[in-house]
Amino acid sequence: MARVRHSRTEGHPQDWEAAGRCWQKLELLGKHLTGRTLKEVAPVILGKDSLEGVRLLHVTRRTGLAFSADERSALEKVVESAGTVLVDPHAGSPAFAKEAQKELEAIFGPLQAVVGRSGPG
């Protein structure tokens, strides 16, 4: 598992880092539910750092999501190699959720709703 390190969000210079504490807490639950140990590698800069071997890539922000061509290519490679991209609106930001959906659909096409959810609202 790798978390995407990104540039500052105005007023929240380390919102990408907040998820690190969450993953530490979820490690035991993940082991219990899946039988697998969650191993986090160093945070990555999307489009620059290697994502080889990354099976779960976590992107979180509050606002302002716009991927470059290199970042989009990196996301595609993760999915093509049987990985999962988890995009999470930090603190439940509806604005980020809408931006993220737009960006992901530009890369992967129309998204399917997760069971019990109809998408950002």
Residue-wise pLDDT for 5-64, tens only, equals: 876 556 655 666 766 777 777 778 778 888 888 788 888 999 999 999 898 898 888 777
Domain that holds residue 53: 2-108
Per residue in 69-95, pLDDT (tens digit) is 999 999 999 999 999 898 888 778 888
Q: Which stretches of the chain are DSSP H helices?
A: 18-34, 69-80, 94-108
The answer to whether residue 16 sits within a structural domain is yes
What is the DSSP code string of 62-95?
Answer: SS-----HHHHHHHHHHHHTT-EEEEEEGGG-HH
What is the predicted pLDDT for the residue at 73?
95
The answer to whether residue 13 sits within a structural domain is yes
What is the predicted pLDDT for the residue at 51?
93
Mean pLDDT on 108-118: 74
- pTM of the full structure: 0.79
What is the predicted pLDDT for the residue at 110?
94
Position 106, amino acid: A
What is the predicted pLDDT for the residue at 48?
93
The answer to whether residue 52 sits within a structural domain is yes
What is the predicted pLDDT for the residue at 14?
64
Quote the number of domains for the chain: 1
85 φ, ψ to 5°?
-105, 115
What is the predicted pLDDT for the residue at 44?
92
